[in-house]
Amino acid sequence: MTNSSEKMASVTRIGLDLAKNVFQVHGIDAAGNVVVARKLRRGAVLGFFVQLPSCLVAMEACGSAHYWGREIAALGHEVRLIPPAHVKPYVRRNKTDAADAAAICEAAVRPGQRFVPVRSAANQAALMRHRVREQLVGQRTALLNALRGHLSEVGVIAPQGAQYAYDLKQVAATGADGNGEIVVCDEVRAALAPLTGQIDALDKEITAIDAELEKVAKTDDRARRLMTIPGVGPITATALAATVVEFGAFASGREFAGFLGLTPRQYSSGGKERSGRISKMGDRYLRKLLVVGATSVLYRAGTHKDALRRWATGLLERKGGFKYGFKLTAVALANKLARIAFAILRSDGVYDDRPVAA
């Protein structure tokens, strides 16, 4: 056995800095000595790990990390994905690919380190469905806003809101308003026809995705239990179930709410607690869905007498009612919904919406 082969056989931990074409490898032995520090072309990555004995392979949880995690784990290695923010403190001096790989290698064994579970291809596909829907909704909103702006140039306006935007789309398509009066000439209609056509096509695609998500929600036990929570429908339930694979990674509901960025930002020192606005860290998509769901719950809270909605109604009254405290209460309620979702998924239970005694 050559000296190089002996060194490779002694590798116990690898830090792999991912890239599109050129990857950086940093490997150490049981004594902490650097055994290998080199670049790999994309086509040589799997061949490199085939010749290694089973070892710990750490990567940042970034683009393509789950794919490489599955491929390398299939070769018999233990794969750990680390959040990029938890790797940054271990980068020494200037940022380079070699420094990043060394930092990943070191961060992988630090006490208290958090890791991201490697997702399956099916789980990634479920998340992609949500991301595609979000992108299509954004494109539809942009087209409706463009339609609103163009029609205002010819004297046709409407109040804010999606329902009024669709009234404008109908005007652009037919040339007549709700009373049947022609308000848009044929030239304007022809100019705006591509926008109305794209909006109709996007509506069709979004409706198809919603139907698929509803079908998934009916067959997924976790999603069904999540939908017992007020303000959580098929989209939010399937997004939560697909995004958070292992709820056991969180110690408490507050920690899960912090993962979603729904807890106050802390700036405390000298024994003085200072809490600010929500941190807005973590998953922006899930946070938005929960806040939108909390908003719908607030609008209908007066018709229910369960503990959650009574708490929300009381907080809204203390914060100044709908005029002054609505948004603050909606975010606080979203925090509650996140904690309830955590409790339900950890305990395999459902939400109890029985009225409480006065």
Identify which of 264, 247, 239 has the alpha carbon closest to the alpha carbon of residue 342.
247
Residue 240 has a pLDDT of 95
Gyration radius from the chain CA atoms: 26
How far is it, in rounded angstroms, from Cα 143 to Cα 199?
Answer: 7
Per-residue model confidence (pLDDT) at position 306: 87
Distance, CA of 15 to CA of 107 (rounded, Å): 9
pLDDT value at residue 112 = 87
Contact criterion met (CB below 8 Å) for 54 and 38: no
Count of C-beta atoms within a 10 Å radius of residue 51: 10
pLDDT on residue 3: 67
| Residues 6 or more apart in contact with residue 166 via CB below 8 angstroms | 144
Strand blocks (E) in the chain = 11-17, 22-29, 34-41, 56-60, 78-82, 264-266, 275-278
10-residue mean pLDDT profile of the chain (358 residues): values are 73 96 96 94 96 96 95 97 94 92 96 92 96 97 95 92 91 87 91 96 98 96 95 96 85 91 85 83 93 94 86 93 91 96 90 74
pLDDT confidence of residue 1: 46
